[in-house]
Chain A
Amino acid sequence: MLIDLFKKTRYISVDLDYNERQKELGPLVVCPFCKKSMRAKEYEQRLHQCQHCGKYGRLNPEQRLAITVDEGSFQLMNENVYTTNPLDFKGYEEKIAVLQEKTGCTEAVTTGVGTILGEKTCIAVMNSEFLMASMGSVVGERLTRLFEYATEERLPVIIFCASGGARMHEGILSLMQMAKVSGAAGKHSQAGLLYITVLTDPTTGGVTASFAMLGDVILAEKNATIGFAGRRVIEGTIGTELPKDFQTAEFVEKHGFVDKVVSRQELKEVLAKILKLHRLEAGN
């Protein structure tokens, strides 16, 4: 009886400890790739890299900037440019409003200026949570204005690319953004200024076929999907399944279209180093 009571008490106390400990460890998250769970806090500390399979979760602009720019240095730009509905596509404006509410972002790209380990640069981060970071008029306009500002102020530009492609809801206008942004990047380049693209998961379609591939230096995050056509489209065309590593950052690097595949942990330092070397080269 005594033993029973003792056991019972002990059992309860362990249970309390367990709950207490769980509370302290915080909530769990599930890896989008291997579906295994881990502590959100640890996942965040590992810069959203899964401790089981090693793959990187996608970062929204806030998360990306937090691990990239010097604290308090980032100044938002071009937020005054916002989306309308040129094709009168049913539900488009509502969709945008819902996404704004959900993501806290006004459109699929966040642009501004800040410093990375003290190196001043213009920065754009595309947001895969916002209509798969598809490029419509606003994404095109914000990026173009960023290039124009950088050209005027003689600053480098870094774009963290991610995109499902063109914003189909805006029809031909979205296609024209490819030419527009490429042209603006060209003007920046003609002024002798540095442009770095960081290809993150997933960089595809019209963004790959325009400014993503136009960097003086093109970096890619490990494991990121990078390509022009969608995997399923190609499989449909050729009628067979594609190898697993097809259109990965490593695949694109092997074929000569990326300067360097980098881990998320080293990315900030790599960027700062490249910025610094170009600043020195410019003789400033």
Chain B
Amino acid sequence: MSGEHNKITASGRIEIVKQKARPNVVDYISRIFDDFIEFRGDRAFGDDQAILGGIARLGDIPVTVIGHHKGKNTQENIDFNFAMAHPEGYRKALRLMKQAEKFHRPIICFVDTPGAYCGIGAEERGQGEAIAKSLQVMMALETPVITIVTGEGGSGGALGLAVANKVYMLENAVYSVISPKGFASILWKDATREKEAAELLKMTAQDLYDAHIIEGIIPEPEEGAHKDVKQMCKNIEAVLRQDLAELTGISGQELAQLRYEKFRHMGVFLER
């Protein structure tokens, strides 16, 4: 990262990742992997297009790829519900993850969502249960899991695809328990203090890296990933190849244990 780039505020980064021109999961999949085949449906209720998943190849390694799907235009955004998944989206993702585990395929997740969808159907079909199950099952998967937060890491909706052995964030990506606007309106009863909240929440890639929540930051081209998608994909691919080489050498049981221990130590408290 250049020194200049390091100075972008959290709010500035939020603006960058919310741009329409920002690459989406299809841009990444098509440039990083070969032979991608989309698999759809949760085998119970339906197919939620807010999450895209399937199998592909990274070099010689077959992998399962799953990611939040943001649209490139209005119609796509409606179809994909602005990447805000319903319970069936998380259940599809989980089905594909269990499938990956069965066939010893590493799992690669791309996170880019404002959050899990809040609506009547989502409540009726158990949004809470769907995310809860994702967290618990992902934690115990006996196969490598790598997550890359490429844009917006919106709370539980992001975490549902991010209980991984390695979690990375693109340089401008953000990841937070609540949106700055939500934070400001709930804790300060003043939504206009959004920008102040964005800084306080420590939600940038650098903040999360410093807090030992993520393994690394993947550099973006000057001015953001959309300026050179090819280069962005090269940067991501390099990280994936290096990690897969490392993680595929570890037994499934050990991978699950390492993942558990990593999350086990998250939290800041005092002890008498």
One of B120, B123, B139, B203 near A179 (C-beta < 8 A): B139
B159 at the interface (CB under 8 A from A): yes
One of A212, A214, A228 near B123 (C-beta < 8 A): A228
- Contact (Cβ within 8 A) B128 A228: yes
Residues of A close to B187: CB separation below 8 A: 168-169
A interface residues, how many (CB within 8 angstroms): 57
- Contact (Cβ within 8 A) A234 B175: no
- Contact (Cβ within 8 A) A228 B213: no
One of B126, B135, B156, B263 near A255 (C-beta < 8 A): B126
- Contact (Cβ within 8 A) A179 B135: yes
Residues of B close to A190: CB separation below 8 A: 140
Residues of B close to A213: CB separation below 8 A: 126, 128-129, 132-133
One of A175, A176, A183, A212 near B128 (C-beta < 8 A): A212
Known contacts A177-B267, A228-B116; is A166 also within 8 Å of B177 by CB? Answer: yes
Q: Which residues of chain A from 208 to 259 have a CB within 8 Å of any chain B CB?
A: 208-214, 227-230, 233-234, 237-238, 242, 246-247, 255-257
- Contact (Cβ within 8 A) B267 A179: no
Known contacts A168-B177, A175-B177, A186-B136; is A234 also within 8 Å of B123 by CB? Answer: yes
Q: Max chain B CB contacts within 10 Å: which of A82, A177, A228?
A: A228
> Closest approach, in angstroms, between the C-beta of A220 and any C-beta of chain B?
12
Contact with B along A241-279 (1 / 0, CB 8 A): 010001100000001110000000000000000000000
- Contact (Cβ within 8 A) A171 B123: no
Known contacts A87-B201, A234-B118; is A176 also within 8 Å of B268 by CB? Answer: no
Distance between Cα atoms of A243 and B123 in the complex (Å): 13
Known contacts A80-B272, A177-B266, A183-B139; is A227 also within 8 Å of B123 by CB? Answer: yes
A198 at the interface (CB under 8 A from B): no
* Chain B residue at minimal CB-CB distance from A254: B124
B131 at the interface (CB under 8 A from A): yes
Q: Max chain A CB contacts within 10 Å: which of B139, B260, B267?
A: B267
Known contacts A137-B267, A179-B139; is A208 also within 8 Å of B128 by CB? Answer: yes
- Contact (Cβ within 8 A) A209 B132: yes
A201 at the interface (CB under 8 A from B): no
A97 at the interface (CB under 8 A from B): no
Known contacts A172-B211, A180-B264, A183-B136; is A82 also within 8 Å of B118 by CB? Answer: no
Distance between Cα atoms of A257 and B137 in the complex (Å): 18
> Closest approach, in angstroms, between the C-beta of B111 and any C-beta of chain A?
12
Contact with B along A159-187 (1 / 0, CB 8 A): 00000001011111111111110111111
- Contact (Cβ within 8 A) B203 A185: no
One of B186, B201, B260 near A187 (C-beta < 8 A): B260
- Contact (Cβ within 8 A) B120 A176: no
Known contacts A82-B272, A137-B269; is A182 also within 8 Å of B178 by CB? Answer: no
Residues of A close to B268: CB separation below 8 A: 84, 86, 137, 170, 173
Contact with A along B239-272 (1 / 0, CB 8 A): 0000000000000000000001001101111111
B202 at the interface (CB under 8 A from A): yes
B200 at the interface (CB under 8 A from A): yes
One of B208, B269, B271 near A172 (C-beta < 8 A): B208
Residues of B close to A246: CB separation below 8 A: 120, 123
Q: Max chain A CB contacts within 10 Å: which of B116, B213, B263?
A: B263
- Contact (Cβ within 8 A) B270 A84: yes
* Chain B residue at minimal CB-CB distance from A206: B156
Residues of A close to B264: CB separation below 8 A: 144, 180, 183-184
B59 at the interface (CB under 8 A from A): no
Distance between Cα atoms of A180 and B201 in the complex (Å): 20
- Contact (Cβ within 8 A) A176 B156: no
- Contact (Cβ within 8 A) B136 A209: no
- Contact (Cβ within 8 A) B269 A81: yes
**Interface pairs A-B: 9 shortest CB-CB:** A208-B128, A229-B118, A137-B267, A209-B131, A176-B266, A183-B139, A182-B135, A228-B127, A213-B132
Known: A213-B129, A230-B118. 20 other contacts (CB 8 A): A82-B271, A82-B272, A137-B269, A141-B269, A171-B201, A172-B177, A172-B207, A173-B268, A178-B135, A180-B263, A182-B136, A182-B139, A183-B136, A209-B128, A227-B123, A228-B118, A234-B118, A247-B123, A255-B125, A255-B126
19 interchain pairs (CB within 8 A)? A81-B269, A82-B272, A169-B187, A170-B268, A171-B177, A171-B201, A172-B201, A173-B267, A174-B177, A176-B267, A178-B156, A183-B140, A186-B140, A208-B132, A213-B132, A214-B136, A227-B123, A229-B122, A246-B120
